[in-house]
């Protein structure tokens, strides 16, 4: 079995309202990374993380399930959590094992009741967080409307780093606002986009959205703000550095676009997790007990082995 250093691990919880697409996203990420040899589906009852007989029958996640994959030599541990109120306590208990949260938002319904609840859970645990606006291929889906809902509930610190290409049935990819490149996908494919130029019809909107992103990243960093004022912009490299710090400090919450069911956008989500989410080493230290004694231990490869039990089966 391959051994990973702490810096090469990401522990990510997939959270959100019921039926927002958490299990489908997990399936797409696993397939895109080559951890599975086919794209599994909730409706077919063959997903990796919804394996309990009752989950298969109900087509809902009842208990948190784990899966892992490797992407760009980084091990990503996924926690696929329940989204319905009846089972939300399992989600709350599971977040203590995560270092970051991907919050799923339905592109049709926007922010829902349990979305707000899991957002608060992530805040209580001081988890880095990002938002995936899902189901952008669905009828009546709207990225703009979902964005309004996100801002109304979570504030302006939630900032897009992608724009969708196409709407509803014509959704076919995303514009990466950092690299200013387009990624287009084959529906029900391997989740890996074809890189191209930003479509002409989105060039102006993408440029404005990128400037808004740069403003938000520079706002909380004096060095970047000075550089921004002097040069009028930030390079992609400096933008990545600033955004990474902002995400890990919970100053900003990036927004991504996807259709989890059709496996569109999965590679960009994986790249985001690797590039911007913290490793366990970034979490500092944890407190626990050794017998009657309370101890504090740094999270480091050089520390004695210790384990935190967050779930029993």
Per-residue pLDDT of 221-234, as tens digits, reads: 999 999 999 999 99
* Orientation angle between helical segments 143-154 and 113-124, nearest 10 degrees: 50
According to the model, what pLDDT value does residue 57 have? 85
Q: Does residue 259 register a pLDDT over 90?
A: yes
Kindly provide the b/e burial profile for residues 28-64, where b requires at least 16 CB atoms within 10 angstroms of the residue's own CB.
bbbbbbebbeebbbbeeeebbbbeeeebeeeebbebb
Phi, psi of 151 (to 5 degrees): -65, -40
Q: Is residue 53 very low, low, confident or very high in pLDDT (cuts 50, 70, 90)? A: confident
Give the pLDDT mean for 303-312: 84
Domains and CATH numbers, the chain: 6-199+251-283 (3.40.50.300)
The Cα 66–Cα 112 span in angstroms is 24
- Res 43 pLDDT > 90: no
Kindly report, residue by residue over 195-212, the tens digit of the pLDDT. Answer: 999 999 999 999 999 999
Instruction: Compare 95 and 288 and report the one with higher pLDDT.
Output: 95
Predicted TM-score (pTM) of this structure = 0.95
State residue 167's pLDDT score.
97
Average pLDDT (37-58) is: 90
162 vs 256: CA distance, rounded Å: 5
More confident residue, 284 or 244: 244
86-136, pLDDT tens digit by residue? 999 999 999 999 999 999 999 999 999 999 999 999 999 999 999 999 999
Q: Average pLDDT of the chain?
A: 96
């Amino acid at each position: 079995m391959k051994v990973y250093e702490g810096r090469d691990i990401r522990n990510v919880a997939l959270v959100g309202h019921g039926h927002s697409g958490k299990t489908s996203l997990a399936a797409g990420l696993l397939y895109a990374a080559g951890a599975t040899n086919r794209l599994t589906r909730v409706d077919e009852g063959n997903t990796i993380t919804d394996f309990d007989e009752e989950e298969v029958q109900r087509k809902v996640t009842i208990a948190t399930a784990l899966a892992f994959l490797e992407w760009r030599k980084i091990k990503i541990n996924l926690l696929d959590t329940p989204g319905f109120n009846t089972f939300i306590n399992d989600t709350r208990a599971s977040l203590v094992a995560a270092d970051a949260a991907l919050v799923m938002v339905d592109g049709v319904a926007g922010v829902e009741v349990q979305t707000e609840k899991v957002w608060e859970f992530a805040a209580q645990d001081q988890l880095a967080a990002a938002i995936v606006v899902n189901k952008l291929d669905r009828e009546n889906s709207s990225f703009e409307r979902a964005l309004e809902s996100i801002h109304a509930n979570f504030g302006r610190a939630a900032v897009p780093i992608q724009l969708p290409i196409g709407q509803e049935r014509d959704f076919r990819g995303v514009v990466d606002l950092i690299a200013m490149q387009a990624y287009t996908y084959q529906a029900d494919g391997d989740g890996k986009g074809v890189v191209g130029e930003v479509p002409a019809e989105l060039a102006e909107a993408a440029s404005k959205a990128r400037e808004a992103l740069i403003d938000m990243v520079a706002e909380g960093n004096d060095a970047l703000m000075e550089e921004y004022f002097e040069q009028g912009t930030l390079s992609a490299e400096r933008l990545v550095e600033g955004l990474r710090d902002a995400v890990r400090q919970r100053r900003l919450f990036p927004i991504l676009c996807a259709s989890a069911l059709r496996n569109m956008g999965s590679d960009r989500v994986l790249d985001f997790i690797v590039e911007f989410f913290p490793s366990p080493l970034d979490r500092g230290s944890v407190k626990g007990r050794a017998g009657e004694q309370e101890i504090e231990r740094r999270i480091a490869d050089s520390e004695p082995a210790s384990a935190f039990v967050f779930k029993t089966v």
